[in-house]
């Protein structure tokens, strides 16, 4: 598990200023004092993604059971287990809690590393009291946007050698990394029981498979109807990285003083592709 204090490649003073700026964007209030988040969340890493790593499967909270299922299918695709493991990097993040997010795995254990803070009180939710997503409990009815997740996990960054390999990887992750399959518009496809059995998503697969593609993949956008262009903001310094994804709120962000702060902190903007179900969450704020 990695903490913000572990980002020793970024000076403590700069790190604190960066996180303060991002936290303000996460809990931003407009001139009327109403909650108006600008970003949906941000992540940090002790290892930077390399420039030639042009495909990123960006799941935050995945379990060891999920990893083992993924590795098995990657091996069936012809990838050596150790090669895949070398492409995994640890990550942690803070992001707005969607009340429909699951908080437990398939075996009913709390997701490892997950904490949820209520920004109105500064206190953490006692997750052990809840067995279902928080949307099922009346005490959270009016808490949309007020709950911030702090989570630990990992992501898989994989290079690809051409269009065929890219499409094969994308198809695998869209099919297996989420609980549901989505159509080209990002809507859930209602499967029959037989179809569900034959697909068998990976253990603990999440509601939304979060999958990002680096800018080199943009030339294949016409072959990837599940994806749309989005912007990644990233600070990469001395082997450490802090980054976030933004879409509809990009113009709004650029109208705020916080944008100039990000530029002064050496954040770089990069166009990439995000799968539609994930970007629906990013834009929901």
Token pair for 265: 């902190």
pLDDT exceeds 80 at position 55: no
Q: Give the β-pairing of 115-118 and 55-57.
A: unpaired
Mean pLDDT of the 117-121 span: 92
Q: Which of 18-32, 67-81, 153-167 has the lowest mean pLDDT?
A: 153-167
Q: Determine the pLDDT at residue 51.
A: 62
8 A C-beta contact, residue 147 and residue 118: yes
φ and ψ at 163, to 5 degrees? Answer: -60, -40
Model pLDDT for residues 144-185, shown as the tens digit of each residue: 889 999 998 888 888 888 899 999 999 999 999 998 889 888
pLDDT bin (cut points 50, 70, 90) of residue 53 is low
**Which H or E element spans position 248?**
none
Model pLDDT for residues 225-241, shown as the tens digit of each residue: 999 999 999 999 999 99
pTM, 2 dp: 0.93
Containing structural domain, residue 217: 4-284
Cα radius of gyration (the chain): 19
Q: Determine the pLDDT at residue 39.
A: 97
> 108 in helix, strand or coil?
coil
Q: Determine the pLDDT at residue 93.
A: 94
> 99 in helix, strand or coil?
coil
Q: Determine the pLDDT at residue 142.
A: 87
pLDDT exceeds 90 at position 216: no
Model pLDDT for residues 245-259, shown as the tens digit of each residue: 999 999 999 999 999
pLDDT bin (cut points 50, 70, 90) of residue 96 is very high
Q: Determine the pLDDT at residue 49.
A: 80
Q: Region of 50 please: left (phi>0), alpha (psi -120 to 50) or beta.
A: beta
> 173 in helix, strand or coil?
helix
Q: Determine the pLDDT at residue 140.
A: 94
Average confidence score pLDDT of the chain: 91
Mean pLDDT of the 87-108 span: 93
Mean pLDDT of the 79-84 span: 96
Q: Determine the pLDDT at residue 74.
A: 95
Strands (E), 135-266: 147-158, 211-213, 227-237, 240-246
Q: Determine the pLDDT at residue 52.
A: 60
Q: Determine the pLDDT at residue 194.
A: 84
Q: Determine the pLDDT at residue 144.
A: 82
8 A C-beta contact, residue 104 and residue 59: no
What total number of domains does the chain contain? 1
User: What whole-number percentage of the chain has pLDDT above 90?
Assistant: 68
């Amino acid at each position: 598990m990695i903490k913000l204090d572990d980002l020793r490649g970024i000076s403590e003073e700069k790190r604190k200023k960066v996180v303060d700026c991002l936290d303000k964007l996460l809990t931003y209030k407009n001139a009327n004092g109403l909650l108006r988040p600008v970003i949906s969340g941000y992540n940090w890493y002790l290892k930077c993604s390399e420039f030639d790593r042009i495909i990123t499967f960006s799941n935050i909270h995945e379990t060891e059971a999920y990893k083992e299922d993924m590795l098995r299918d990657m091996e069936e695709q012809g990838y050596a287990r150790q090669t895949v493991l070398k492409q995994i990097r640890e990550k942690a993040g803070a992001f707005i809690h969607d009340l429909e997010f699951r908080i437990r795995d398939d075996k009913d254990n709390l997701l490892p590393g997950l904490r949820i803070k209520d920004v109105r009180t500064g206190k953490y939710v006692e997750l052990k009291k809840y067995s279902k997503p928080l949307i099922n409990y009346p005490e959270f009815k009016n808490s949309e946007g007020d709950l911030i997740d702090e989570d630990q996990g990992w992501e898989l960054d994989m290079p690809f050698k051409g269009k065929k390999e890219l499409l094969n990887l994308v198809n695998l992750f869209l099919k297996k990394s989420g609980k549901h399959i989505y159509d080209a518009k990002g809507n859930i496809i209602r499967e029959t029981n037989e179809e569900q059995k034959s697909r068998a998503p990976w253990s603990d697969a999440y509601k939304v498979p979060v999958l990002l593609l680096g800018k080199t993949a943009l030339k294949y956008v016409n072959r990837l109807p599940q994806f749309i262009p989005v912007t990644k903001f990233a600070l990469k310094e001395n082997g450490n990285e802090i980054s976030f994804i933004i879409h509809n709120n990009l113009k709004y962000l650029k109208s705020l003083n916080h944008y100039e702060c990000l530029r002064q902190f050496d954040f770089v903007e990069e166009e990439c592709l995000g799968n539609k179900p994930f970007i629906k969450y990013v834009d929901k704020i």
